[in-house]
Chain A
Amino acid sequence: EVQILETGGGLVKPGGSLRLSCATSGFNFNDYFMNWVRQAPGKGLEWVAQIRNKNYNYATYYAESLEGRVTISRDDSKSSVYLQVSSLRAEDTAIYYCTRGRGRFDYWGQGVMVTVSS
């Protein structure tokens, strides 16, 4: 059974930074691209970042709205993916979902809440 679990959310002050973690199991992590997708309260879905697998040299891609403030990384030995977000703003307040997939997201975690507030 595929399992995806995000951790690391919480309350952060504006200008602060946060590292989200996503632990996975139940599939061959090395074979898959992984993504982060976020959803602000009461709003729609926004793709944040993608990291490809070793076959694609772990290439990374980012949403323009966040580029320069986010870094996605992965540890294949731990079947985990991470999202580092810096210079946090109120508009970064959202549920952050970890998802599996190259062009479509076939499995999702439950999400982790990030609140940016003073």
Chain B
Amino acid sequence: AIVLNQSPSSIVASQGEKVTITCRASSSISSNYLHWYQQKPGAFPKLVIYSTSYRASGIPSRFSGSGSGTSYSFTISRVEAEDVATYYCQQGSSNPLTFGSGTKLEIK
């Protein structure tokens, strides 16, 4: 199974600050198969970025993603209060499909 090591496990940021989350895969995956989800407290997860860098429908431009091979990142250019959530990376390259362990974003 492809293991996704996601870091950091938590972030405390100020509004307007830039935050970056990294996701490292235990083996190389095509950038087509690396995705990011946002899960707000008490809600189901929501697809935010798919295929490394494409924003899902309705997702603001402050969210972006990049990467290739085994190293991927997710960035919020200017954090807003509504971005408080846990973010997960996920690989769809091979079964079993796997998720990173999550990064909890809090606002100062």
Contacts and interface: CB of A to CB of B under 8 A. Distances in A.
| Central interface residue in B44, B47, B51, B99, by most chain A CB within 10 Å | B44
Interface residues of A, number: 22
B62 to A, nearest CB: 21
Nearest to A47: B97
Given A45-B88, A103-B97, A97 B50 contact: no
B93 interface: yes
B60 interface: no
A45 B99 contact: yes
A4 to B, nearest CB: 9
A48 B53 CA distance: 26
List 7 A-B pairs, minimum CB-CB distance, nearest first.
Answer: A103-B92, A47-B97, A104-B35, A61-B95, A45-B99, A108-B44, A44-B102
Interface of B: 1, 32-33, 35, 37, 39, 44-47, 50-51, 56, 86, 88, 90, 92-93, 95-102
Interface of A: 35, 37, 44-47, 50, 61-64, 97, 101-106, 108-111
